[in-house]
Amino acid sequence: MSNSQKPPSFLYAALRVFDLSLGEMLWSRRTVFMGLVVGLPVLIAVIIRGLYALGAPAMHVNNATVTGPVVFGLMMWAFFIRFSVPVLGVFYGTSLIADEVEDKTITYLFSRPIPRGAVLVGKYLAYLVCTICVVLPSVVLVWLLIVPMGGSLGLHFIDLVKDLGLLALGLAVYGAVFALIGAAMKRPLLIGLLYVFGWETVVMLIPGYLKRFSVAYYLQGLVPHAMPSDSPLSLIQGIFREVPTLSEGLFWMAVICLGSLWLASRTVTRKEYVLEQ
C-alpha cells in the first residue's frame, strides 16, 4: 500500500519551524546578550528620570538645555538605530543556519519532508518575533520615561509610531541580509560585523553613490529625529548626508529584505552543508 500523505506546504512547514525555533531562540544565551543590549537604555532612562524626579537641574549639552524629546531622539540614534538593530541582525541572522551546522543538527531538519527553504524562513520569522518582542517594548519604556521631561507624549506620539515601525523594518532587513550571509558563507559573524562596523560606517562618510549599497542609508534616512553631531565622524556624516525619500527608502528596503530572503532560501535549498567531524 502506497503512502498517500502529501508533504506539508511551504507556509505550513515554515510555521512549524517557526513554532519550534521561537522558544529555542528566546531562551538561548544569545537572548541574555540581547537583554543587555536593549536593557541598558532602559536603565539609563530610569536613572535620568529618577534624577529629574529628585529635582536635579535640567540637562545641558554645550550649555544648551536639553529636553526629554531631544534626549529620546539621541538615545534612539545611539542605542537603537546605530547599534542594537544592526548588531542583533548580525548575531541572530548569521546564526539561523550556521548554528544548526555548527551543532550538527541541520541533518535532522533537512531529513524532514519539508522544503529546505521553509526551514530558513521559519527560523527567520522566529528571529523577527523574538527581537521585535524585546526591542520594541524597551523603546516604549524609554519613551514613557524620557519624553515627559519637558516634552509632551501626545506631541511626540507620531514620532514613536514611526520609530517603532522603523525598528521593526530595520530588524527585518538586517536579519534577511545576514540570514543570506549566514547561509552562503563561512565565518558569517565576522563578515557581518565587518559589514556593519566597517563597510556601512565608511560608505556613510563618503559622498557619492556607494552609500546606496548599505541598509543604513535607507534606514537612517527615515529616522524622524535629528542626527546627533557628537563626534567628528558624525559631523562629517551630517555634512555629506543624503536622505532618500520615504517611498524610495521603503521600496529599496523591501527589495533588499525580500531579495535577501529569497536568495538565502535558494542557497539553503541548493547548498550541501558539510558537517565537520
Partner 1 sequence: MTQRTRYFLTGSSLVLMVGLATGLVAFYNGSLPLGASTMEQSEFTYLPADSTAVAYADVRAIMDSEFRQKLRQVLPTGEEKDKLQAETGIDIERDIDTVVASFSGNRPDPSGAVVLVRGRFNDVQVETLARQHGAQVEEYRGKRMLLMTHDGPRMQPDGTTASAPSVGGLAFLEPGLMALGESAALKRAIDTNATKDDITKNADLMGLANDVRGGSNAWVVGRFDEMAGSPMMPEQVRAHLPAVQLFAVSAHVNGGVNGMIRADTRDDQAAEQLRDVVRGALAAGKLMAGQDAKIGAMLNSLQMTGTGKTVSLSFTVPAEVLDLLNGVAAMQNLGTGGIRK
Q: Using CB under 8 A, list all residues that contact partner 1.
A: 19, 22-23, 26-27, 58, 60-67, 70, 73, 129, 133-134, 136-137, 140-141, 143-144, 150-155, 157-158, 160-162, 221-226, 229, 235, 238-239, 241, 243, 245-247
Shortest distance (Å) from residue 61 CB to partner 1: 7
Question: Longest C-alpha distance within the chain, in Å?
Answer: 84
Choose between 107 and 245: whose C-beta lies nearer to partner 1: 245
Shortest distance (Å) from residue 195 CB to partner 1: 25
28 Rama class: left (phi>0) / alpha (psi -120 to 50) / beta: beta
Shortest distance (Å) from residue 252 CB to partner 1: 15
Choose between 148 and 259: whose C-beta lies nearer to partner 1: 148
Shortest distance (Å) from residue 138 CB to partner 1: 9
Choose between 109 and 136: whose C-beta lies nearer to partner 1: 136
CB 34 within 8 A of CB 131: yes
Choose between 43 and 190: whose C-beta lies nearer to partner 1: 43
CB 22 within 8 A of CB 130: yes
DSSP-based three-state secondary structure for 60: strand
CB 179 within 8 A of CB 97: yes
Placement of cell 501626545 in the chain? 154
CB 93 within 8 A of CB 192: yes
Choose between 252 and 273: whose C-beta lies nearer to partner 1: 252
